Structure 1
Amino acid sequence: MYQTKTCQAFALFCTALIAGGCWLSASPSALANLPTVKALAKPPTSGKPGGLSPGGSRPPDCLGKNNLYSLTPRDGGTATGHPIILVYVPPTDAVEGRFVLKDENNQPVYTTQFALKGNAINGVPLPPGAFAGLEVGKRYEWIFSVTCDAEALDTSPSFKGWITRGELDASTAAHLAVASPLERISLYQQEGLWYDGLGMVAELRRSNPYDRDLIAVWTKLLKSAGLDEPIIAAPLF
Structure 2
Amino acid sequence: MKITLRELKLVCTFVADLGAAIALILLCFTLVPTQLVKSQVPEKGIFNAPPPPEDINAPGNRTAGGKRGCKTINKQFTASQEKNLTALVPVYQSPNAELVFGLTTISHPTFWFYVPYVTTASAEFVLQNEAGEIVYQSPVSLSGTPGVVSISLPSTAYSLETGDRYHWYFNIYCNPQQPPVFVDGWIKRVEPNTVLKNQLEKATLKQRAALYATYGIWYELVNASAELRRLDARRNDWANILQSVGLNNITSEPIVDCCN
TM-score, with structure 2 as normaliser: 0.60
Structure 1 residue 221, shift from structure 2 partner:
6.4
**How far did residue 96 of structure 1 move?**
3.0
Does 2:70 correspond to 1:62? Answer: yes
Going from structure 1 to structure 2, the CA distance change for 1:205 and 1:96 (only over 3 Å counts) comes to: farther
Cα 1:183–1:226 change in 2 (3 A) is: closer
Percent identical: 28
Show the counterpart of 2:169.
143
> Which amino acid letter does the alignment assign opposite residue 67 of structure 1?
N
Q: Does 1:176 align with 2:196?
A: no
Q: 2:117: which partner in 1?
A: 91
Higher relative contact order (CA 8 A, sep 6+): 1
Residue from 222, 234, 237 that aligns with 2:254: 234
d(CA) in 2 for partners of 1:221 and 1:191?
A: 13
**What is the aligned counterpart of 2:140 among 114, 122, 141?**
114
SS at match of 1:92: coil
What is the alpha-carbon distance in structure 2 between the residues aligned to residue 180 and residue 77 of structure 1? 21
Counterpart secondary structure, 1:61: coil
The whole-number CA distance in structure 2 between the counterparts of 1:188 and 1:220 is 14
Task: Structure 2: state its 5+ residue gaps.
Answer: 1-41, 48-57, 73-78, 91-99
> Residue 162 of structure 1: which of 175, 186, 198 is its match?
186
1:201-221 Cα offsets, whole Å, 9 max, x none, are 112323x3xx4522x564576
Match of 1:201 among 225, 232, 253: 225
- Offset at residue 142 of structure 1 (A): 0.4
* Cα displacement string for residues 156-183 of structure 1 (whole angstroms, at most 9, x for unaligned residues): 0000010000001222212211111122
Mapped partners of 1:177, 1:120: distance in 2? 32
Q: 2:29 is matched with which residue?
A: none
In structure 2, what residue type is equivalent to 1:68?
L
Gap runs ≥5 in structure 1: 1-10, 17-43, 51-58
Return the letter of the residue paired with 1:124.
I
Letter of the 1:112 counterpart: S
Counterpart residue number, 2:45:
14
Question: TM-score of the superposition, structure 1-length normalised?
Answer: 0.66
Quote the Cα distance in structure 2 between the aligned partners of 1:220 and 1:173.
24
Tell me which amino acid in the other structure corresponds to 2:211.
Answer: L
